[in-house]
Amino acid sequence: MVKIKCVDYGFECDYVIEVESQDLLEKFGAHMTQIHGIEYQKESLMTMLVSKLNKK
């Protein structure tokens, strides 16, 4: 499980999501689109997730 925080990506936003599955990754993507007006491709989200995983 990986915690993704908007703050980590430079947003002034306290949104945090614990990503356990692809569904939740898509939910984060939806948050980005709706709240921040940025559309991330699924591949970009996966890259974020993978780089998070590699940090551990």
Q: In which element (H, E) is residue 47 found?
A: helix 42-55
- Residues in the interface with Zn ion (CB under 5 A) total 5
Tell me the closest approach of the beta carbon of residue 26 to Zn ion, in angstroms: 15
Q: How far is CA 54 from the centre of its chain?
A: 15
State phi, psi for 49 to the nearest 5 degrees. -65, -45
Tell me the closest approach of the beta carbon of residue 3 to Zn ion, in angstroms: 13
* 4 near Zn ion (CB under 5 A): no
* 15 near Zn ion (CB under 5 A): yes
User: Contact positions toward Zn ion, by CB under 5 A?
Assistant: 6, 11, 13, 15, 35
